[in-house]
Structure 1
């Protein structure tokens, strides 16, 4: 690789390292997902709520992972308060009937949800309405408890532009526990909306609040908001068991994916990303097409000599020595014409013999002997093996002189 290529590669590596360092050290993004799961420490989890209830109500808290229908129909010894908190708690018709029958036996149902099923609202003669943050550029709601025996402070919530409340209450059967309102820019009187109620049902009672965020980590840990949450929880019967629902949740109560450990831990997550990036780089650089090995091509062998020997052996085996001699003489004369550039029309001409002697670096006597042998053998019809060998020796000696050997 050229020097310029190394410089570009170094700059790329340093840039990539700087990006990784910035990503690793940047503040962790806050997860505002409304999970309401008991072990989640995100803003809208309920880890703080469950920890405080375990602390202040020892041996009274039981975490329930199964649906209420299954718990209440298969177990007869369930007595106390069933506590539900989620963004939306939606019971099926059969499940709601089982819950209401259970409350009718002298138990308590506590549900914190933005929205409630219409059947439950109809049963309690309630209606829900939206409360909007009118006239304000920033979201701001005020919450307060209605019971004068509790704190008279007002608590702020600044995360939503609207919330829900209850409308058209049956005041003879319903007790208002908390209210919500927002200040308007107009001079009209502030209208407060009921967001938490309590109502008797048979031998038990039902508590509903349309502000489930009061039980989240963010709300409880914000300023003095825990006093508002404590005021709502003060209506629970602490002499009986409290069953904390973990089934009706927006978030996952447990994680089945083995990748959760890597992706939820900052160090493991970046180690996992680096492995993926390294694998991608390897594929890019090592997966590209490479030059295939060039096969070794054996050069074509010169089979002329082998062919000549084969033909000669064939003639020799058949005893046709005169044909071998004829071909031998013809090839030699062609050699003289092409190699020494001399005419071979008259082999006994004196001028021809002198020129051949000088050009071949051979004694004139030897040249005359060779040419005489050739002339004699060309006229014979039968050639002996000895004569053929003698001719071949003289021709080889002549060629050796030509080549200077």
Structure 2
């Protein structure tokens, strides 16, 4: 290799090394995925919430990994509160019925979600709506608990372009716990929407919050938002276990892929990338030098047509025109059964002839002439070359009509 070529290789290697160093030292991107998983420390995980729950409710927190239906139906007489928080909590019908029956017996259900099951809303005589902040470019929502005893300050949240509020409320059965405020239009008018409610259900209670991000790491650790989240947690019962759901989550509670260790650790990830790049370079430079020429193997010729012609010539030379006619009609009838999907048991049936004419794109006269010829030749003991040629021409004409030629 020339001196100039080595210079290009060295410069390319230096450029590649600089790129690797810059990428390695680049700050890690923040993962804003709304996982709501208990051990995730990303902004929208709930690691801080579960730590607070252990502090506020010592020896009462039970982490549940199984579906609620399985817990409530296979465990004898459990009592307490069931806590759900996720971007969207969607219960199946049997699961929701089991939860409602459990609440009726004197237990508590706390659900924080952007959307709720329609059957649950209908049961509680509720409805929801999307709340948009159309008064300014930056999305700003203010959340506040309405109970004056909690002395909860108004908190600001700017990460969502819309939020959820309760549109229709049964005021006789429902207690409003929290509101969200947003500018409704360009007139700077502040509108209030209900986003947290409590309702008695049987002997128990149900609390619904349409702002699940109030329980995430980012929200709790930002400014003084902790007081708002703590105020919501005060509506959990003072006694009894609290079952923290880990089944209805947007993120994975654990990772099953063996590549997660490599791709989630910076050192292993770049070691893996370097190994792939090294393998690619080896293939590019060594593969051309050592790879042997691949011989050209000609494909096998299709001898079916030649074989068929040989057999046909043999029959024709022996003068076995009747046998040729028999094979030709049998192959043609098989063609009708497989190609046009018609039954060939009665070739003179009027219904058969009409259906065959329609499917074969031919006239009834042409079809009746062809079928009549086949029936006639079947009964003859001696067949001439002219009759065989006439049969072949009619069959070829019929197939041409089928193919639209």
TM-score (norm 1): 0.70
Deviation for aligned residue 1:44: 0.7
CA distance in structure 1 between the partners assigned to 2:74 and 2:2 by the alignment: 77
Deviation for aligned residue 1:3: 1.1
**Alignment partner, residue 83 of structure 1:** 83
**Alignment partner, residue 121 of structure 2:** 121
Aligned ranges 1:188-337 → 2 under 5 Å: 189-290=189-290
CA distance in structure 1 between the partners assigned to 2:254 and 2:155 by the alignment: 33
Deviation for aligned residue 1:184: 4.9
**Alignment partner, residue 162 of structure 2:** 162
Q: Is the 8 A contact 1:107 1:203 kept in 2?
A: yes
CA distance in structure 2 between the partners assigned to 1:189 and 1:168 by the alignment: 21
- The alignment partner of 1:244 has SS state of strand
CA distance in structure 2 between the partners assigned to 1:230 and 1:46 by the alignment: 14
Deviation for aligned residue 1:238: 3.2
Deviation for aligned residue 1:151: 2.0
Q: Is the 8 A contact 1:136 1:184 kept in 2?
A: no
* Cα 1:161–1:38 shift into 2, 3 Å: same
- Superposed CA deviations along residues 149-177 of structure 1, whole A, max 9, x for unmatched, are 11241101001110010012111111111
After the TM superposition, which segments of 4 or more aligned residues of structure 1 sit over 6 Å from their partners?
none
Deviation for aligned residue 1:56: 2.3
**Alignment partner, residue 142 of structure 1:** 142
- Superposed CA deviations along residues 71-105 of structure 1, whole A, max 9, x for unmatched, are 00000132101000000000000000000000001
**Alignment partner, residue 109 of structure 1:** 109
Deviation for aligned residue 1:287: 1.3
Q: Is the 8 A contact 2:135 2:188 kept in 1?
A: no
- Superposed CA deviations along residues 288-327 of structure 1, whole A, max 9, x for unmatched, are 143869xxxxxxxxxxxxxxxxxxxxxxxxxxxxxxxxxx
CA distance in structure 1 between the partners assigned to 2:188 and 2:138 by the alignment: 20
CA distance in structure 1 between the partners assigned to 2:292 and 2:156 by the alignment: 73
Q: Is the 8 A contact 1:60 1:238 kept in 2?
A: no
Q: Is the 8 A contact 2:183 2:189 kept in 1?
A: no
CA distance in structure 2 between the partners assigned to 1:64 and 1:148 by the alignment: 34
CA RMSD in angstroms comes to: 1.5
**Alignment partner, residue 16 of structure 1:** 16
Max radius of gyration: which structure?
Answer: 1
**Alignment partner, residue 6 of structure 2:** 6
Deviation for aligned residue 1:142: 0.4
Deviation for aligned residue 1:187: 4.1
Deviation for aligned residue 1:21: 0.8
- Aligned residue pairs: how many? 293
TM-score (norm 2): 0.70
